[in-house]
Amino acid sequence: MARKCKYCYTKANDNDTLCSICKIDINKDKKELTKEEKKLWYCCRTLSLIGFLAALGGLIGVVGAIVASVGLAGDGKNSLIIVIINLILGIAFFIFGISLSRYKQWCYYGGIVLYSLSIILCIVSFNIIAALFSGLFLYYVASKTSKNILYRQL
């Protein structure tokens, strides 16, 4: 079985104990981490959680859009546009979520665009709680630590 880094959950390098993503020694005990390493660990956990939620939310959005489109037959043009927007956003969030859990570089600006768009759409549709969550996710994805991890600038 391939070894995994216990701090960022990515596949560990076979001939190097230093993780290529979070730059923490995978043999290092959690108690021995420096303050800076703990910050990276926390950020990696948050990013992978956001990635998981984004993929799940995207999937729910796609299913919801398909279900809505079935009940849409004969309905107005406006609702069809909303279904299409939901479908596209759902697919985008699903791909983003999977990529973020792999710490892909494009997820930094991709996440900023997607969550900003999501905030605007939530505010327009008066979904304030969802807007607040999108804002929170945006705050984490757009953080400096997150950029350093995604751009491998540690």
Smallest distance, Zn ion to C-beta of residue 99, A: 17
The string of DSSP letters for 26-67 reads TTS-GGG--HHHHHHHHHHHHHHHHHHHHHHHHHHHHHHHHH
CB of 147 to Zn ion, least distance (A): 17
Q: Which one of 17-25, 45-53, 98-106, 143-151 is the stretch in contact with Zn ion (CB under 5 A)? A: 17-25
Stretch in the footprint of Zn ion (CB under 5 A) among 4-12, 49-57, 71-79, 130-138: 4-12
Burial class (CB in 10 A: 0-12, 13-18, 19+), 26: middle
CB 146 within 8 A of CB 47: yes
59 Cβ neighbours under 8 A, 6+ residues apart: 90, 94
Q: Smallest distance, Å, CB 96 to Zn ion?
A: 20
Q: Does 7 bind Zn ion (CB under 5 A)?
A: yes
Q: Which residue has the tokens 């001939």?
A: 15
Number of other residues whose CB lies within 10 A of the CB of residue 51: 22
For residue 62, the minimal CB distance to Zn ion (Å) is: 30
Q: How far is the CB of 118 from Zn ion (least distance, A)?
A: 28
Task: Please give the Cα distance from 52 to 99 (Å, whole number).
Answer: 10
- Nearer to Zn ion by Cβ, of 87 and 147: the residue is 147
> Closer to Zn ion at the Cβ: 11 or 63?
11
Q: Which of 2, 4, 13, 21 binds Zn ion (CB under 5 A)?
A: 21
Q: Under the criterion CB under 5 A, does residue 5 sit at the interface with Zn ion? A: yes
Residues that bind Zn ion (CB under 5 A): 5, 7-8, 19, 21-22
